[in-house]
Every structure is written in structure tokens, then in C-alpha cells.
Structure 1
Amino acid sequence: MRRACGGNRAVPAKGPGKTFVKRAEKELMTTSPHLSLETFIEESDEPLWLWEVPSDRLYLSMGAKRRLGLSRADAPARMDDYLTHLPPAEQDAVRHALEESLSSREQHFSLLHFFDRMQVLEHAGVLRRGEDGRPTHVLGNMEIAEKGKELVPVAGYMAAFLPEGSIRFDRNCAILLGRERPAPFSAPLEESLELVHANERERLAELKLVCAPGSSRDQFEDILLFHREDGACTRLKVSISVLKRDHEGRAALLAGNLQPAVCGATGSGSLLTLAVHSTGDGLWDWDATNDTVYYSPQYLSMLGYTEDTFPATLETWARKIHPDDYARTFPIQQAIVESPRNGNSFEVTYRLKKADGTWAWILGRGHVTHRDENGRATRLIGMHTDISTAQLGREKLEDMVRRDILTGLCSRAFLEMRLEELNARPVWPLSIISCDVNGLKLINDHLGHAAGDEVLVQGATLLRRSMRLSDCVARMGGDEFVALLPGCSAAQARRIAGDIVYGLEACNSDESRIPVLLSLGMATSENGDVPPGELIKRADRAMLEQKAKSRAASHRHIKDWIEQRHHIAVSLEDIRYAGPCSG
């Protein structure tokens, strides 16, 4: 789960990660092999939970129930029931975050929320996946804030689209920045930069240098003071990577994260302490005269080694460099050692093998502090920063770009990329379903855009539930949706459309909710005689024909609901609701 509320006190996370999931499985096998996983979880005194995703079944441990103040009788048995304990303003955002996490390639995720007025930080790991790769069992544990204290997310992701002059922030960033509504948001670039405290804004000059044409650097890191929306200030660690440059070499696309920073004492001496200890950077100090290297505790811990398993020599480090990165890493340092003509400092990004056999992306920086009479370096000192998160931010950015920020469906850009793939590597039969929300303008004008957004999200959810995992469902903008169904015959597409209609009827049976009314159009090519682009046009024309036939009835239905529920007079004679663009 993932990501409410600020406070600038960071509580150490005990996320599940691979070790958490493996530890739970190992404990089950060694101490209680006769128990099922579900029973093991329910009887545990730790604050654990197990979610069977396909059935939505939720198993809460005795420890979790006790900490949440739940009895056996009133403990939620489904994830959907669990979410009803969240504040109404958080429920949709958390559901979206869950679906986003299950649809991504991430193995572990976290979520911060309130549960019956208690602040809870959930940490979860995918325990099992189905044949299609989608999670079927998710195992998690929880931290609950002590009275008078608050929990904060581990990190938030952001992406900056410089040509557009905008930055997208995920839900964790919204929480860290103290926004009243804990949901993903976009903001103009200049407005976002003003979130940094005026006294520290000049330090962003380094970021501008990284973004400038011809810059040899692609990373920026600093700890900055940010203004929160609630009026307070909080210190956050900023990590940003350049993912794309334009033809002039100017940065066009950035991705990175915000993390809570531990604030220590002030003064010149504390800055190094903050840099080395609080941010997790590792210090190294190489005495070339006897080939001994001091690796700081932070250096060793970030890689999972100890002093015994990582001897204090240069060769130890060299042997851990990824074979594909060795040629651009080790020789640079050796050249600087040989002569000052090759420079006195270096910076390089490469992979280093961790104790568990995985690879960490490292930003390595070093500087010569002493040379002998022949100019040969006798001592170098430097820092190692684990930038794996920044590298993984590329995948996160791809996910942000390919998803519509409101509904969680694929974006128009991603659908167009899928169309290009289908043009290059056709899959037949191919069906297209075009969809439009009826009466959205009527709802926006009389109930507000938040109500309209609720209808869009509900409609998107119904569409996604009715589709296969291989289908691409995208929001094209406004109230328009398109679904690409590769390998789907006309008969199969009709069944899927029927499932959508059935889902709408079930949704609209709850008269307390705003009616969700959709117009559908469908087109199929069984053997490739019609290209995908033309299929979309045909499906769109079919949808518009249905929309024209149902517009009057849809408007009357929504008008009656608004007048009965909100006692607002609605006139359908208004010119805004008369034409083909009236929704």
C-alpha cells in the first residue's frame, strides 16, 4: 500500500522487503509447518495481515486487531471492508494507490493513512503471483503512531517535464509537503521551486547547472527546507536524475524522490555529519602508500557487508564492480592517481555487488588530497551514494507517464505507443471499444468538478474490471475512453461490453451515488483487413451514434437525481446541454 499527514518527525520504517516476506515464510515452515499461511497470520502476535487479492479476503493477525482496537467480531474480513475505516477523503486515493501498486512491477510498497483516527503506516510485499504475473497474495505489517507522534512516508516520487514547465508529484510527496488532500498532483515548475525556503533557494543553482546544455552530470542531491501547505516547514532530502535531454543537450525530463531528512545540530562540523550519516552516504579514505582503505560503517551497511567480509583494500572494491561498468570506473581512478594532468577529482556512476548478490547503483566521487614529489597521489578521499532509487525512478517515471493521474488507467500517450506496436507487430483479431461518459458537463456544472471526477473514476473502475489483463484501457481526455483488445473476436468483445453494462446496472442500483451512464461503441477486425487507427474511428462513430440516441434520457436521469438529492433546479433547456458536445 502507499502513503497522510505530515509532521517532521521521521519514524524508522520496518518495511517487509524481501527479508520480511522470507522471514515470515521461514518462520511458518520451521515453527508451524502444520498450519496454513492464513492460520499462521491470524494467530500471530505481530501486527501482520495477509490479503488474498482475487477474492479480496483479508486476514488480520491477533496483534494487528489488538493494536487497531478491533474485536474478532468486528474485524474486517475483506480489504474493501478495511478501507471503510479510513476517512472518506482518503478511501478513493488509497484504493487507487493499491491498484497502482498491484499493476506495477514493484515487489514491495508502503501506504500511510488513518484508521479510525489512528495513523497507520503499512508495509507490504508481494508473496505470490499468478501465471499472468499479477499478485495473488500480499503480506504486510503495520506501524501505528504513538499518541502525540506522527508517521511519515519513506519516500515520494516526482517527475519534471521541463518543456511543459510542470512537475508531477505522487501521493507520498503530497503527504510530505503537508497538502490537505493526500493525492497525486501537478504544479507549474516555478511554483514548485518556490516550495523551497527562500533562504535555501540559491542552492538550486546547482540543479540548473545539471540541467544546462553540455553538463556532464546527470544527478542532483541536497537536503533542503520546504514550505508545507499547513504553514510549517520540513527538511527533505531531494534526489533528482536527468532521464532525457533535447537535441541541444538541455535536460527535458527529470525523475527523482523526496525523503524525510533527519536534522542534526547546526554549524560547520554538522554538515559533514548530516551528509555522511543522515543521508546514508558512505565515506572512503584510501592511503595509496600502503594500499589500505577505510570504509565507513555507512559504506559497508549500504552494501550489506561487515569489516570481516569487506577487507580494507582497494582490490576488495575493484572485485565488486559490475563487469560491464569496470572499464569506465576503475581506470579513471587509476589515471588520476598517476598524474595531476589527469585531474584531481572524479565522479562516476556504476554498479557494485552487494552481499546478497544483487547490484546497487552507486554514485562515486573522489578527490586527491595529497601527492608525492613525483605527482603521484598518495591519498584520496571520497563518498559513495546509493542512487538505486533514482535509477528505479526511471521505471517509476515510465509508470507515471503511461498512466492517467486521475483514473489510474493508461494515458493517451501510452495507448498511442501500443497502437504503434500493433502496427509494427499486428495481433488479430483486434477489437476496439470506445466509451464516453453521458451527462458529465451537467454534473460538473451543478455539483462541481470533484463530483465529475468521482464519476470518471467510477466509470474507469468499471471498464478496467470488465477487461482482460492483456487489454489496454486508456483515458483519451475529458470524458472519453478507448480500450484496445488484441486477440479479441467480435463475439468476445460483445461479451465484454455486456459485462460493462451489467457492472453499470449494479453500480447504479445504489441510488445514493451519482449515476454513472456510459455510451459504448465497438469495432472489430478479425483478419487485419482494417488497420487499428481506422478501427478506433469506427468504434468512435458507433459510440457517438449510441450517445445521440441516449442523450435525452441520460440528461433526464441525471437531472432528476440532482434535483431529488441536492434540491437544485436543473434546466435542460440551457444551450450548454443541447448540442452534440453537451455530454
Structure 2
Amino acid sequence: MDQKQAASNQRQIQIDQLEQQNKELRKALRTSEEKLAAVLEGTDTKVWQLDVASQALKIFNAPWGAMLGYRQDEIEASVSGWESCLHPDDRVEVVAAFEAHLRGESDAFEVEHRMLHKDGSSSWVSDRGRVVEFDQQGKPLRMIGAHRDITQEKLYQQRLAKLIDHDPLTGLLNRSALIKKYQALDTADSDKAALLFIDLDNFKYVNDHYGHKFGDLVLCYIADMLKSMLLANSTICRFGGDEFVILHACAEPSQLIELAESLLAPFKVPLSVEGESMNVGLSIGISVFEIGIDCFSDVCQRADQAMYQVKRNGKNNLQFCSLIT
């Protein structure tokens, strides 16, 4: 065998070795992907990879688009395809965070956002990734991350927030939520606002005569009535028992009187609830206050005093605290 033939044989051996190594690497990669898919199977976590140059995206443990109800041929496996599925209310924030990380302005891309499904519904995901490979000039080549469906967690958080801020019987805001609203008032439109303290007249008779279960139905019925008659700049809460408080972001006396009288009007005649007729009224005390100066408890106490003045004067009426003698 001459030297030329020997060199050729050596090159072929090297090629065969490289092909064998490549085959083994591909097999190892498939095995790793299979192991990853097995570990993540049954979870809501999907692992993805981005080729920065081509903008191609790949999900390792699920068909591309399956999470959103698409077939693989219905949506492009790319950054633009991903962006098209971002909820419009979240898109600007998410894309900005993604691009900021690619520019090296953050340690990781990390954001919670909504994705749009093929059927028009949406789901929440927690998305996190980072660049794992750079070229010699330090430009990003490859990015790896994972997104996890957190829709149920978000729904739980929303339900918990509602329980914290809402009265469980009527669905209205509760006292603590109203105090937050009071503290959040600003003087952009006016330096004064008003608080209306409402106590139901003759409600004790309803409870005693029909029972507390029926009394709860009446409370819910009245809560819905009051809420439906509010103005755009009003907030109502169930303060406790048969007491309601309205925070009105305007101190104009004529508007306050108009609001209070509109609330009183339906109670001029007997209410009919579940086929039962009953006389229930509203005693309304009104306190005007200076935003950012008067504390909630003082304003509430003044409105409460005005409400009791209505009780003493015959019930089912309104009274400004400044008119108390």
C-alpha cells in the first residue's frame, strides 16, 4: 500500500469515527430530550429554545403551539409567531423585557403574562429564560427557558383578593376595602369629597318576623338596588350588619342631595322580596370632608351622627352633618 492510499484510508477512518461520534451524540441528545419530556410529563412546564439568528423557537417536551390549541402547521415556530399569541394588554411589556435581556440589560427574561388560545380564550404563564451561548463578539446566539401555566394560581389569587376586599354575603366592598379607597383619593379633580352613611330602617323587624335567612336575602336585594343607583364617581361598601357606606368623589351639595334622594325614592313604598311585602327605609347621614386632611374615622363618625339625627326625626330621609344642632 503506497503512502497516498494509506493517507486516504486514515482519512476515511477519521470520517467514520466522526460519523460514529455524531451518531452517538444525536442518540444522547434524543435520550436527554426523552428524559426531560418524561420528567415534565403531566406538569404545566414547557422548555423552549431560541436560535437568535434565525428567530426560530423550539419546545422540547410538546408540539409547538399545542399549549394554545394549535396544530404545528397553524402557527409559525418563531418569535413573531410567539408574539402574535401574546395578550394585547401584555404584549408591550413582555416584548420589552424579552428584547432588554437580549441586549444584555437584565440577568434573565422573567415575566408573568397572558397567552391567547386559538379558541379566543387566554391563559396565564410564568415565562423565564436566559441567553446561554454567545459568539466571539459577545452577541447572543442561543437562549433557553421555560414557561409554566399559572392560570389556576392566578384564579386562586383573584378569588382570594375578592374574599379579602368583598363582603361574602352581598358581594359589595367591605369596610377595609372602602378605607383603602378613601386613602387613595387625590385632589386632582377636587379637594373635597363626601361620605354617605346609610342605616336600614325597620330591618330588625324583618329579621325578627321572617328570620335571619330571609333577612340576608333582603340585605342582598337592597345592596343590589343601591349599587345600581350609584353615580360613576361613587363607591359603596357594606359597613357591617344593616349599614352601608358610600364614598362619593364630589362635595357639591346639589349632587349629594340628588344622589341621596334617588337612593331614598324606591323605599317610599313597601319593598317586595320573594313575594313578601315589607316597609324598609334608609336613614342617610352625609359628611363632606377635605381629601388628605380629615381622617376616615372622624368623617365616618360625623356621618353616623347625622344618620342618627334622621332616625330621631322620623327615619327614611337624609341629613348633612353640618346641619346638626
TM-score (norm 1): 0.34
- What is aligned with 1:475? 238
CA 1:470–1:507 in structure 2 vs 1: closer, same or farther (change >3 Å)? Answer: farther
CA distance in 2, matches of 1:410, 1:399: 9
Rate the CA distance shift 1:439–1:312 in 2: closer, same or farther, 3 A. Answer: closer
Alignment partner of 1:416 is 2:179: yes
Matched-pair contact (CA < 8 Å) for 2:58–2:64: no
CA distance in 2, matches of 1:465, 1:292: 50
Return the match for 2:247 from 459, 484, 506: 484
CA shift in 2, pair 1:355/1:449, >3 Å:
closer
Task: Give the match's secondary structure for 1:431.
Answer: strand
Residues 459, 285 of structure 1: alpha-carbon distance in 2 compared, 3 angstrom cutoff: closer
Tell me what 1:275 maps to: 42
Residue 412 of structure 1: how far off its partner (Å): 0.9
Q: Deviations over 1:61-120 (max 9, x none)?
A: xxxxxxxxxxxxxxxxxxxxxxxxxxxxxxxxxxxxxxxxxxxxxxxxxxxxxxxxxxxx
Question: For residues 446 and 330 of structure 1, what CA distance do their matches in structure 2 show?
Answer: 72
1:4-19 equivalent positions in 2, closer than 5 A = none
- Aligned equivalents of 2:150 and 2:258: distance in 1? 47
Rate the CA distance shift 1:400–1:325 in 2: closer, same or farther, 3 A.
Answer: farther
Question: Structure 1 or 2: larger helix share?
Answer: 2
CA distance in 1, matches of 2:242, 2:295: 21
Q: What pairs with 1:216-255 in structure 2 (closer than 5 Å)?
A: none
Q: What is the aligned partner in structure 1 of residue 305 from structure 2?
A: 541
Counterpart in 2 of 1:524? 288
Checking the alignment, whether the CA contact within 8 Å between 1:407 and 1:460 is kept in structure 2 is yes
CA deviations over 1:478-537 (Å, ceiling 9, x no partner): 121111111242122222222222111245267823432322212335x87983634432
- Which residue of structure 2 lines up, in the alignment, with residue 99 of structure 1? none
Deviation per CA, 1:345-389, whole angstroms, max 9, x where unpaired? xxx7655876889996434699xxxxxxxxxxxxxx997432245
* 8 Å contact from structure 1 (residues 322, 351) kept in 2: no
Whether the aligned pair in 2 keeps the contact of 1:490 and 1:523 (CA below 8 Å) is no
Counterpart position of 1:244 = none
Gaps of 5+ in 1: 1-270, 336-347, 367-380, 554-583
Equivalent in 312, 324, 344 of residue 97 of structure 2: 324
User: Are the equivalent residues in 2 in contact too, given 1:419–1:532 (CA < 8 A)?
Assistant: no
Instruction: Give how far 1:329 is off.
Output: 10
For residues 292 and 272 of structure 2, the distance between their equivalents in structure 1, rounded to whole angstroms, comes to 41
The 2-side partners of 1:468 and 1:315 are apart by 44
Matched, 1:385 2:148: yes
Looking at structure 2, the residues matched to 489 and 292 of structure 1 have their Cα atoms a distance apart, in angstroms, of: 59
| Shift in CA distance, 437/274, structure 1 to aligned 2, threshold 3 Å | farther
The two structures have a TM-score, normalised by structure 2, of 0.56
With a CA cutoff of 8 Å and minimum separation of 6, indicate the structure with the bigger relative contact order. Answer: 2
Partner of 2:67: 302
Give deviations 1:206-243, integer Å, cap 9, x for gaps.
Answer: xxxxxxxxxxxxxxxxxxxxxxxxxxxxxxxxxxxxxx
* Aligned-partner SS, 1:385: strand
The one-letter amino acid of 2:218's match is: V
SS in 1 for 2:65: helix
Offset from partner CA, 1:126-174 (integer Å, 9 cap, x none) = xxxxxxxxxxxxxxxxxxxxxxxxxxxxxxxxxxxxxxxxxxxxxxxxx
Change (3 A) 1:298 1:522: farther
Higher mean displacement: 410-419 or 386-395:
386-395
Relative distance call for 1:364 and 1:466 in structure 2 (3 A) is: closer
**TM-aligned CA deviation for residue 442 of structure 1:** 4.1
RMSD: 5.0
Whole-angstrom distance in 2 between the partners of 1:313 and 1:462:
52
In 2: Cα distance, 1:296 partner to 1:421 partner: 47
Taking the aligned partners of 1:396 and 1:350, their CA distance within structure 2 comes to 18
CA contact (8 A) 1:433 1:483 kept: yes
| 1:163-242 → structure 2 map (5 Å cutoff) | none
User: Which residue identity is paired with 1:412?
Assistant: R
> Which of structures 1 and 2 has the bigger CA Rg?
2
Contact 1:422–1:532, Cα closer than 8 Å, also in 2: no
Report the number of matched residues.
249
Residue 198 (structure 2) pairs with residue 464 (structure 1): no
Partners of 2:83 and 2:171 in 1: how far apart? 44
> d(CA) in 1 for partners of 2:73 and 2:261?
65
Change (3 A) 1:549 1:352: closer
